[in-house]
């Protein structure tokens, strides 16, 4: 048995048969590379077996960007990269360990619905962990933690609760955070005051809402920076976004699951706190003091 070895851009041997998908995710640095890495991760290895043009279109980058990224990773040609991908697929399909780990025996339908749902979500988390692009997550966290920027969150019909959760928690650990109101004119009034110091974090999942895309276009035209949380199929807003986090939406109910996106929001909050613990600590302490003051028993205010 043999393994294909390529020489990476640091001159060190890279064993792509071991973890090609992880290499694609973890080597991204620039914004274009992050977009490309995310496109690879969303549906690997299928995403890597099309044409350069198809991959570039999905990622929202140019064909030459695709080729430069692969050259950086040690592949002289796109065909060489696809050969390595096919070898990885063959290796995985023929792995005795992988076959051993495949579930056998009990039909999942024999499980109680509650247990099936929990197992389904556990699998969604595992799949998501295998598709993480660290640089893309860090790019969003850096924007959310920048005190010079104002953060505004907006969600759609079934994702507004995610925007609300992010705005509520983020607003406790940093200043200048707002939840955009979509009840009057779908937040269009908010476009008037947007500018380069605003970051709009949008939550848009299937079925994608045209109003969300229209708002994103208006925000982008005003100079605001856009980041997006969406599903693996990617909202059209992805083409306007500086960074994108995707998530599976597998669900036992008729509605797409938002379990993984909720965890993504929690991870972003944790990352913001990690970047400036002192500010977060001071704000939380002040909030606690305000709450305690408000909870003090009130004196008798009745008058004769």
Q: Residue 252 has what pLDDT?
A: 87
Q: Residue 136 has what pLDDT?
A: 95
Return the H-helix or E-strand segment holding 145.
helix 134-145
Return the H-helix or E-strand segment holding 7.
strand 5-7
Cβ contact 145:280 at 8 Å = no
46 DSSP assignment: G
Q: Along the 304 residues of the chain, how does pLDDT read in single tens digits?
A: 223 333 333 333 344 434 788 888 889 999 999 999 988 888 788 888 889 999 999 888 999 999 999 999 999 999 999 998 888 777 666 555 554 555 544 556 678 999 999 999 999 999 899 889 999 999 999 999 999 999 999 999 889 999 999 999 999 999 999 999 776 566 678 899 999 999 999 999 998 999 999 999 999 999 999 999 999 889 999 999 999 999 998 888 888 899 999 999 999 999 999 999 999 999 999 999 999 987 665 555 555 4
Distance CA 57, CA 63 (A): 8
Closest C-alpha among 242, 206, 207, 203 to residue 224: 242
181 DSSP assignment: P
Cβ contact 145:272 at 8 Å = yes
For the chain, the C-alpha Rg in angstroms (whole number) is: 23
Distance CA 291, CA 252 (A): 40
Q: Residue 95 has what pLDDT?
A: 55
Topology (CATH level 3) of domain 134-290: Rossmann fold (3.40.50)
148 DSSP assignment: T
Exposed, middle or buried, 68 (CB in 10 Å: 0-12/13-18/19+)?
middle
Cβ contact 59:88 at 8 Å = no
Sequence-distant (≥ 6) Cβ neighbours of residue 55 within 8 angstroms = 36, 39, 40, 47, 48, 66
Q: Residue 96 has what pLDDT?
A: 57
Return the H-helix or E-strand segment holding 155.
strand 150-155
Residue owning tokens 């928690």: 169
- The DSSP code sequence of 191-238 is GGG--TTEEEEEE--SSPPHHHHHHHHHHHHTT-EEEEEEETT--GGG
pTM: 0.77
Q: Residue 7 has what pLDDT?
A: 35
- The dotted CATH code for 5-93 is 1.10.10.10
Phi-psi region of 187 (alpha: psi -120 to 50; beta: other; left: phi over 0): left
List the domain boundaries for the chain. Answer: 5-93, 134-290
pLDDT digits (tens, 9 = 90+) for 129-171: 988 999 999 999 999 999 999 999 999 988 999 999 999 999 9
162 DSSP assignment: H
Q: Residue 9 has what pLDDT?
A: 33
Measured in whole angstroms, the distance separating CA 294 from the mean position of its chain's CA atoms is 38
Q: Residue 110 has what pLDDT?
A: 74
Cβ contact 140:245 at 8 Å = yes
Cβ contact 23:84 at 8 Å = no
Exposed, middle or buried, 161 (CB in 10 Å: 0-12/13-18/19+)?
middle
């Amino acid at each position: 048995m043999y393994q294909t070895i390529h020489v990476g851009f640091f001159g060190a041997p890279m064993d792509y048969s071991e973890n090609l998908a992880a290499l694609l995710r973890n080597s991204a640095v620039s914004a274009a590379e992050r977009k490309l890495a995310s496109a690879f991760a969303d549906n690997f290895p299928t995403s890597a077996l099309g044409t350069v043009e198809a991959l570039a279109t999905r990622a929202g980058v140019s064909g030459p960007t695709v080729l430069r990224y692969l050259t950086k990773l040690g592949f002289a040609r796109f065909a060489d990269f696809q050969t390595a991908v096919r070898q990885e697929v063959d290796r995985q399909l023929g792995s005795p360990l992988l076959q051993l780990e495949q579930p056998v025996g009990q039909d999942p339908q024999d499980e109680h619905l509650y247990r099936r749902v929990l197992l389904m979500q556990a699998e969604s988390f595992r799949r998501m962990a295998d598709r993480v692009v660290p640089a893309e997550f860090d790019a969003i966290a850096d924007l959310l933690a920048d005190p010079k920027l104002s953060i505004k969150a907006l969600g759609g019909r079934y994702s507004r609760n995610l925007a609300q959760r992010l705005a509520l928690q983020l607003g406790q650990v940093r200043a200048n955070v707002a939840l955009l109101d979509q009840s009057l004119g779908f937040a269009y009034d908010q476009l008037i005051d947007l500018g380069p110091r605003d970051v709009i974090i949008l939550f848009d999942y299937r079925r994608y809402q045209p109003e969300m895309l229209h708002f994103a276009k208006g925000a982008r035209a005003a100079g605001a920076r856009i980041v997006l949380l969406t599903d693996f199929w990617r909202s059209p807003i992805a083409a306007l976004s500086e960074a994108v986090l995707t998530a599976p939406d597998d669900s036992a109910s008729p509605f797409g699951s938002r379990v993984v996106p909720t965890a993504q929001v929690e991870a972003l909050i944790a990352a913001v706190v990690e970047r400036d613990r002192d500010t977060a600590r001071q704000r939380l302490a002040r909030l606690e003091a305000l709450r305690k003051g408000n909870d003090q028993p009130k004196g008798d205010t009745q008058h004769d």
